[in-house]
């Protein structure tokens, strides 16, 4: 069976992708990976960077003797997969992204950072605060948000992947976007799809951004069709 690496989104953890993994496990060797500083993994000494996350994936693949594999990357996980393919193209068979934000500038970053205020989350969305605490234990979830805000600020100042970079990524890629996603625009997704030499694209109907609200059977269909 082929190997597929499942990568979670920002402030997320591998356990959020367990329901999808359960649907795919009969067809593929599934690897649920917590990126550094997520899901209880230690914070990296140099902070969060897309290249640091890509390095962590490489170390995981090497440690587990996986010479080549495909990616499913949700949100930030899709961005990490693309950075990985740019740097280590021979290791990646195919990439599938869902709800990945490709366009970043300082205004976009500021908008996303504004939603990552731990005191407001603690006060107004206590259930979410509790989920974040459990998701990242034994890490401090508030510190985790601080690391994430620094990452977004860095992307806002210098987007790690430009359209010119995507033109150099020859790995077959399927970009998926929900038609009700309020974080990722259709325009930025189409721009990257157009730039990719081996790009494909799918828009999922009645689909918002959160992974918990996505039709997993529909997602499974697109994943399996593309990986064949």
Taking only the tens of pLDDT, the chain with its 228 residues reads 899 999 999 999 999 999 999 999 999 999 999 999 999 999 999 999 999 999 999 999 999 999 999 999 999 999 999 999 999 999 999 999 999 999 999 999 999 999 999 999 999 999 999 999 999 999 999 999 999 999 999 999 999 999 999 999 999 999 999 999 999 999 999 999 999 999 999 999 999 999 999 999 999 999 999 998
Q: Quick check: is 137 in a domain?
A: no
Q: Is residue 150 part of a domain?
A: no
Q: What is the CATH number of the domain that holds 63?
A: 3.40.50.1820
pLDDT (0 to 100) of residue 77:
98
> Can you give the pLDDT at residue 196?
98
213 lies in a domain? Answer: yes
**Residue 71 is part of which domain span?**
2-103+161-227
Predicted TM-score (pTM) of the model is 0.97
Other Cβ atoms within 10 Å of 182 Cβ, number: 8
- The verdict on residue 34 lying in a domain is yes
Q: Domain for residue 154, yes or no?
A: no
Count of structural domains within the chain: 1
Is residue 70 domain-resident?
yes
């Amino acid at each position: 069976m082929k190997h597929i690496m499942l990568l979670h989104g920002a402030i997320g953890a591998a356990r959020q992708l367990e329901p999808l993994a359960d649907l795919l496990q009969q067809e593929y060797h599934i690897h649920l990976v917590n990126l550094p500083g997520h899901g209880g993994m230690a914070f990296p000494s140099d902070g969060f960077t897309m290249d640091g996350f890509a390095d962590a994936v490489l170390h995981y693949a090497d440690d587990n003797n996986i010479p080549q594999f495909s990616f499913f990357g949700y949100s930030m996980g899709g961005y990490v997969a693309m950075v990985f393919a740019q740097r280590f193209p021979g290791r990646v068979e195919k990439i599938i992204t869902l709800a990945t934000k490709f366009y970043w500038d300082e205004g976009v970053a500021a908008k996303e950072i504004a939603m990552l205020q731990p005191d407001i989350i603690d006060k107004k969305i206590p259930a979410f605060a509790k989920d974040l605490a459990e998701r990242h234990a034994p890490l401090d979830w508030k510190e985790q948000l601080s690391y994430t805000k620094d990452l977004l600020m860095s992307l806002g100042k210098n987007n790690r992947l430009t359209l010119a970079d995507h033109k150099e990524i020859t790995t077959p890629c399927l970009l998926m976007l929900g038609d009700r996603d309020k974080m990722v625009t259709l325009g930025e997704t189409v721009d990257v799809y157009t730039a990719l030499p081996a790009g494909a694209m799918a828009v999922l109907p009645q689909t918002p951004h959160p992974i918990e609200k996505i039709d997993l059977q529909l997602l499974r269909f697109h994943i399996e069709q593309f990986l064949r």
